[in-house]
A = this chain, B = another copy of it.
Amino acid sequence: MELIATPDAAVVWKDNQLFLLDQRLLPETEVFIQLSSSRETAQAITDMVVRGAPAIGVTAAYGVVLAAREAFLMDARQWKQTIEPLLDDLALARPTAINLHWALARMKQLIVQLPDGDPENALIKEAQLIHSQDIESNVCLSDIAADLMQGCGSVITHCNAGALATGGYGTALGVIKSAFRDGKVDHVYADETRPWFQGSRLTAWELEKSGIPCTVMVDSVAATLMAQSKVSWVIVGSDRIAANGDVANKIGTYSLIVNAKFHGVKVMVAAPSSTIAMNTATGADIPIELRGSDEVMKCGGKQVGVRGVDVLNPVFDVTPAALIDVIVTEKGAIFHPSEEKIKALMLS
């Protein structure tokens, strides 16, 4: 099995097997991991072999295929019961990204309707549909976003919301790719994105492979660039958008957007509609994942900070809807998002 590491191959279903490009090791090492069970898939999501809300959703969908294979092998008649704890495991892999739950709900809906017999082919088809629809949504929302951008300039992005973070093409980086193609963006400032360095490791890797000029910086340089009028947009993805338009995204997004508002820089959130959680009322209802201290205090496998000191490591934050100029989905763009506008979009 030979797989080539490209940004568009973060999650690969091939020869009825699931492979993930190990994003913990990029950019220095390009290795695929084969996952042979749904529990291994859940663990890979928890351990951030794969990350990015839409990519987690796509991975979980394929994880359901593996779960069904195991359950059907154990008990061909009762597999719909046997599979349940395996699906629960997948649901618990990470708390913040709603796309995980969205993809599981869609797979479960199909499971309920399936007739007797081996469910694998039907579930593979559905997972592949989730995967291909995610790519289509990203291409579509990126074109919508590029159309509404004016002139040409530099933008800042935070974390990695590229092909690696999705089924393919990317959300925030998808917008940047389309806008670069259309002459609306000529340069990207990529926040390194502490603590996991998604920017310096993954976004820079993707942009380089896409031929888009890119400068990496520590997250706090963004404020200086804004004060110097060097950027026209902040463009980010999202892990969950609440029904009122509040946006959860990688830690650092909120600080960046507060600075954008202070400096009059426009803010775009790019996400497929599967990121909008209509049953999450506001940002206050979004569970924020806390991860271990080693992500902050160790670097490159080496202890950097003081051992044993208390560390606070929330890996997402919430930006109130009022600070966001536009949310762009494949269903359309919402300027100055509100509960009413989001409801209307989701019903469209």
What residues make up the interface of A, taking CB atoms closer than 8 Å to B? 27-28, 189, 192, 194-195, 197, 200-201, 204-205, 208, 213-224, 227, 251-252, 254-256, 258-259, 261-262, 296-307, 309-314, 317-318
Report Cα–Cα, A299/B197, bound state, in Å: 11
Is B219 a contact of A312 with CB atoms below 8 Å? no
Known: A192-B194, A305-B204. A298 touches B296 (CB 8 A): no
From B28, B254, B300, contact of A299 by CB (8 A): B300
Q: Which residues of B contact A205 (CB under 8 A)?
A: 306
- Copy number in the complex reads 2
Partner of A309, one of B204, B227, B311, B317: B204
User: What is the bound-complex CA distance between A221 and B306, given in angstroms?
Assistant: 18
Distance to closest chain B CB from A56 (angstroms): 21
- The reply to whether B258 and A311 form a contact with Cβ atoms under 8 Å apart is no
- Whether B255 contacts A222 by the Cβ 8 Å rule is yes
**Which residues of chain B have C-beta atoms less than 8 A from A312's C-beta?**
189, 215-217, 221
Contact (Cβ within 8 A) B302 A300: yes
CB-CB under 8 A for A204 and B306, given A218-B195, A252-B218, A254-B227: yes
A259 to chain B, nearest CB (A): 5
State whether B297 touches A300 (Cβ < 8 A): no
| Residue from B27, B200, B227, B259 within 8 A of A259 (CB atoms) | B259
21 contacts between A and B (CB under 8 A): A197-B304, A208-B306, A213-B310, A216-B306, A217-B296, A218-B313, A220-B254, A220-B256, A222-B255, A223-B258, A224-B254, A224-B317, A224-B318, A255-B259, A258-B262, A261-B262, A262-B262, A298-B300, A300-B302, A300-B304, A302-B302
